Amino acid sequence: MTIRERRHLRNGLLFCAPWLIGLGVFTAYPVLASLFYSFCDYSVLQSPVWCGTENYRQMLSDTVFWLSLKNTLVFALLSLPAGTIVALALAVLLNTEVRGMPMFRTIFYLPSIVPMVASAMLWMWIFNGQFGLLNCALHPVLGVFGLQPPGWLGDPTWAKPALALMSIWGVGNSMVIYLAGLQNVPKELYEASEIDGASTWRRFWHVTLPMISPVLYFNLIMGIIGTLQVFATVFVMTGGAEGNPARSTLFYALYLFSVAFYDLRMGYGCAMAWMLFVIIIVLTVTATKLTEKRVHYAT
Amino acid sequence: MQPRTPLGRLFVYAVLLGLSFVFLAPLLWMVSTSLKPIEQTMTLPPTWLPRAYYATLHGHRVEVTRDQQLPDGRWQVTERSPTKMRTHKLATAIVPANQIESRIKPRCENYRIALATMGGRSIEEADGTVPPRQTGASPDSAVSFGTFLANTVLVCLLGVIGAVLSNAVVAYGFAKVPWRGRELLFAVTLATMMVPFPVLMVPLYGVFKSLGWIGTLKPLWVPAFFGNAFNIFLMRQFFRTIPEELSEAARIDGCSEWQILGRVILPLSKPVLAVVALFHFLFAWNDFLGPLLFLTRKHTFTLALALQNYQSQAGGIQWHHLMAASVVVILPIVILFFLAQKTFIRGIATTGLKG
């Protein structure tokens, strides 16, 4: 090693030192420790005792575990497609050259910066069965058909759709990403397709969508990762980690939290966390494989 | 794209305006509720404006509550008591609708009461109708809103300082110093972004416990001083776009690596520093799981946790107070957003960051 190389190495390590410590203490050690704990019987009160794959085997026969996984996947299937469609539709609307676009963009984006606990509080009030804004608006409409609006968060059937509806309100982030993607689509492509006589719909389908497919893919992956870990809003809105009403909102992260920190079964909690990691990787790889041929990267 | 016909343009505007109302309505509803007296939060159909009603009862002109409308259109009204503590029996009467005077009157005292009761005081204590309990004996019985705010501001500011400093230094090491092992460490750094937080949660709790940090604010801001994979990535990408010739020139002039970072790189990197600072601030202000895991006593709570705690203790009917407290938690973020809107939009659009 030359003197110059040695100096670079010293400087490089020196500059990266905070991260080397941070990586070690706050990431690498916890990752390895939680993998180890996942094979242990462990509560914080006593030191971990090795129990092999017991935690993972228990998971397979734990009906509540399966329920929490099912709840999470159902919620993801409700909120992800709806959120994608709304975010994309808003972005397309904002991408039309109309005056006041920055104002509309601000309005649609604003809800997504509202602190999660505060927006949870707000939506609990909106979903209030009796005096909530939503049911007050729905009541006269549904009344025409002789129907009653649901009790939303108080009703096991409607609690998940309610949470999905609320998540649509906060699509501002993905909307801005889509908008950036739309603005990067070369205008010549639209002009060319227009000369070829393509309708607006065909242009959207054959020009816009392929051109923004990398952004769609990115948002899909981030959406999967985020939705599977939903915690704060549900914890606040359903009053703790029980997943009220009737465990209908007992999501994976909630069950994991209550197992680890209320029941102090931290080994089982770690095993669930690693299972979540595996599920995320499997879903991400599957989504990548499924969309591979359709995601078009411009060169 | 441009709508081709005036009709198409009109259609786009109509849709945009309609959707704007749908997106804004919840926030307007929140502000509206926060300014209403409790009985007006529970009226059907709901009203948007907070009002005060006045009528003459037994020869006195007093503020009243409209309790019930009779089939003939008259209202049963009750004198409105200024506090919950009733000094005398409240007068009721049945009054024709046209003799009730209605004025728009926002109840700003909701905010005072919400902030005073957020830390566990009762409404009577907040009103001053009963003397406050002695708080010396148990520090957790009643905490002031100021404590929650101070905790949150501390976590946010220290976190922002830590995030900007540490990530800039580390990113410099990755972007500008060519050392052996750099690419490998960078690959490891990117890989850690994949790890979901629940995997780290239990051992992190153990780490902070052995450091004696559980129940203090330290777990919420100290880690920011040790870098974050995503921010390192973001800053490294930005630093790499700064021409190497600038660093070389500074080196020839006798600058050390630290001086190059401080005098050449950082002044050119304000946009990315702003994005990192802003998003860390947002994260720290909004974080709920971290405080829930690591804070144990009320006087250390941040606003997010205190708000949830307030809701779970106040129960389900004090919506005007809950909405007032929520508005207070949201307001600083909204102000920040309007001050730094460009940074927000650029930050998300270029990084795909989830705020």
| HEC per residue, B264-307 | HHHHHCHHHHHHHHHHHHHHHHHCCHHHHHHCCCHHHCCHHHHH
Q: Which of A77-91, A160-174, B41-55, B172-186 has the lowest mean pLDDT?
A: B41-55
Which pLDDT value is given to residue B137? 47
Question: With an 8 Å Cβ cutoff, are A116 and B288 in contact?
Answer: yes
Give the span between the Cα atoms of A93 and B40, in whole angstroms. Answer: 37
Cα-to-chain-centroid distance, residue A100: 30
Q: Summarize pLDDT for A24-49 with one digit per residue, the tens.
A: 999 999 999 999 999 999 987 788 99
AA letter at A241: A
B62: helix, coil or strand?
strand
> What are residue B54's phi and psi, to 5 degrees?
-125, 140
Give the span between the Cα atoms of A133 and B30, in whole angstroms. Answer: 10
Find the CB nearest A18 among B170, B303, B304: B170
Residue with tokens 């080994």: A267
Q: How many distinct helices (H) and strands (E) make up chain B?
A: 16, 5
Q: For residue B93, what pLDDT band results from cuts at 50, 70 and 90?
A: confident
Among A2, A4, A5, A15, the strongest candidate for a mutation testing the B interface, having the largest count of B CBs within 10 A, is: A15
Decide: A280 and A225 in contact? Cβ < 8 Å.
yes
Q: Which residues 125-144 of A have a C-beta within 8 angstroms of B?
A: 125-126, 128, 130-131, 133, 136
Find the CB nearest B204 among A26, A90, A231: A26
Tell me the two tokens of residue B337: 């957003």
- The mean pLDDT value for A232-251 works out to 93
Q: Report the 10 Å Cβ neighbour count for A42.
A: 27
Give the span between the Cα atoms of A46 and B123, in whole angstroms. Answer: 43
AA letter at A247: R
Tell me the two tokens of residue B289: 């799981």
- The mean pLDDT value for A140-152 works out to 90
Q: For residue B355, what pLDDT band results from cuts at 50, 70 and 90?
A: very low
- Give me the helices (H) in A96-171, please: 101-109, 116-126, 133-143, 159-169
Return the ∠ at Cα A226 (arms to B284 and B336), rounded to 5°.
35
Tell me the two tokens of residue B100: 């009730």
Which pLDDT value is given to residue A201? 87
B101: helix, coil or strand?
strand
Which pLDDT value is given to residue A99? 84
Among A9, A25, A121, the strongest candidate for a mutation testing the B interface, having the largest count of B CBs within 10 A, is: A121
Q: Which is nearest to B350 in space by CA: A293, A218, A87?
A: A218
Which secondary-structure segment (H or E) carries A71?
A: helix A63-95
- What is the number of residues in chain B? 355
Sort strands B51-57 and A46-50 into parallel, antiparallel or unpaired. unpaired
Q: Summarize pLDDT for B15-61 with one digit per residue, the tens.
A: 999 999 999 999 999 999 999 998 898 888 888 999 999 988 888 88
Which pLDDT value is given to residue B81? 74
Which pLDDT value is given to residue B129? 66
Q: Could you give the ipTM of this predicted complex?
A: 0.92
Which secondary-structure segment (H or E) carries B77?
A: strand B75-79
C-alpha dihedral (A208, A213, A219, A222), degrees to nearest 10:
180
In the predicted model, what is the mean pLDDT of chain B? 88
Q: Which residues 50-89 of A have a C-beta within 8 angstroms of B?
A: none
Q: How close B131 gets to chain A, by Cα (Å)?
A: 30
Decide: A161 and A78 in contact? Cβ < 8 Å.
yes
- The mean pLDDT value for A106-130 works out to 94
Q: Which is nearest to A165 in space by CA: A100, A233, A110?
A: A233
In our burial notation (b when 16+ CB lie closer than 10 A, e otherwise), range A195-210 reads eeebeeeebeeebbeb
Q: Summarize pLDDT for B213-263 with one digit per residue, the tens.
A: 999 999 999 999 999 999 999 999 999 999 999 999 998 999 999 999 999
C-alpha dihedral (B52, B58, B60, B65), degrees to nearest 10:
-10
Please state whether the peptide bond connecting residue A186 to the residue before it is cis, i.e. omega within 30 degrees of 0. Answer: no
Give the span between the Cα atoms of A9 and B182, in whole angstroms. Answer: 9
In the predicted model, what is the mean pLDDT of chain A? 92
Residue with tokens 């981030």: A222
- The mean pLDDT value for A75-84 works out to 96
Q: For residue A1, what pLDDT band results from cuts at 50, 70 and 90?
A: confident
Question: With an 8 Å Cβ cutoff, are A270 and B199 in contact?
Answer: yes
Which pLDDT value is given to residue B49? 93
Is the pLDDT assigned to residue B86 strictly greater than 70?
Answer: no
A126 CB neighbours in chain B (<8 A) are 26, 29
Tell me the two tokens of residue B165: 């400093």
Give the span between the Cα atoms of B36 and B50, in whole angstroms. Answer: 5
Higher pLDDT, B350 or A220: A220
Find the CB nearest A266 among B202, B308, B333: B202
User: Given CB atoms, is B354 within the 8 Å cutoff of chain A?
Assistant: yes
Give the span between the Cα atoms of B169 and B175, in whole angstroms. Answer: 10
A30 CB neighbours in chain B (<8 A) are 199-200, 202-204, 207
Which pLDDT value is given to residue B140? 57
Tell me the two tokens of residue A168: 């649509």
Instruction: With both helix axes pointing from N to C terminus, report the angle between B229-240 and B270-286 in degrees, rounded to the nearest 10.
Output: 170
Q: For residue A265, what pLDDT band results from cuts at 50, 70 and 90?
A: very high
Residue with tokens 């709790």: B205
* Max Cα–Cα distance, chain B, nearest Å: 93
Decide: B291 and B221 in contact? Cβ < 8 Å.
no
Q: For residue B265, what pLDDT band results from cuts at 50, 70 and 90?
A: very high
Give the span between the Cα atoms of B291 and B300, in whole angstroms. Answer: 9
User: Given CB atoms, is B99 within the 8 Å cutoff of chain A?
Assistant: no
Decide: A34 and B202 in contact? Cβ < 8 Å.
yes
Sort strands B92-95 and B75-79 into parallel, antiparallel or unpaired. antiparallel
Q: Which of A104-118, B195-209, B216-230, B312-326 has the lowest mean pLDDT?
A: B312-326
Which pLDDT value is given to residue B45? 82
Percent of chain A with pLDDT over 70: 99
Name the range with the highest mean pLDDT among A274-278, B78-82, B314-318, B351-355: A274-278
Tell me the two tokens of residue B119: 């830390």
Return the ∠ at Cα A53 (arms to A47 and A56), rounded to 5°.
100
A38: helix, coil or strand?
coil
Q: How close A238 gets to chain B, by Cα (Å)?
A: 10
User: Given CB atoms, is B211 within the 8 Å cutoff of chain A?
Assistant: no
- The mean pLDDT value for A156-173 works out to 95
Q: How many CA atoms lie within 13 A of A33 on its CB side?
A: 21
User: Given CB atoms, is B190 within the 8 Å cutoff of chain A?
Assistant: no
- The mean pLDDT value for B181-201 works out to 94
Q: Which residues 242-261 of B have a C-beta within 8 angstroms of A?
A: 257
Q: Which is nearest to A106 in space by CA: B326, B342, B283, B1?
A: B342
Q: Which is nearest to A124 in space by CA: A150, A153, A149?
A: A153
B12 CB neighbours in chain A (<8 A) are 93, 96, 98
Decide: A23 and A10 in contact? Cβ < 8 Å.
no
Describe chain A by its helix, strand, coil percentages, rounded to 5.
75, 5, 25
Give the span between the Cα atoms of B134 and A98, in whole angstroms. Answer: 61
B174 CB neighbours in chain A (<8 A) are 15-16
Is the pLDDT assigned to residue B275 strictly greater than 70?
Answer: yes
Question: With an 8 Å Cβ cutoff, are B173 and A253 in contact?
Answer: no
- The mean pLDDT value for B71-96 works out to 78
A218 CB neighbours in chain B (<8 A) are 352
- What is the number of residues in chain A? 299
Is the pLDDT assigned to residue B91 strictly greater than 90?
Answer: no
Describe chain B by its helix, strand, coil percentages, rounded to 5.
60, 10, 30
Find the CB nearest A115 among B169, B177, B285: B285
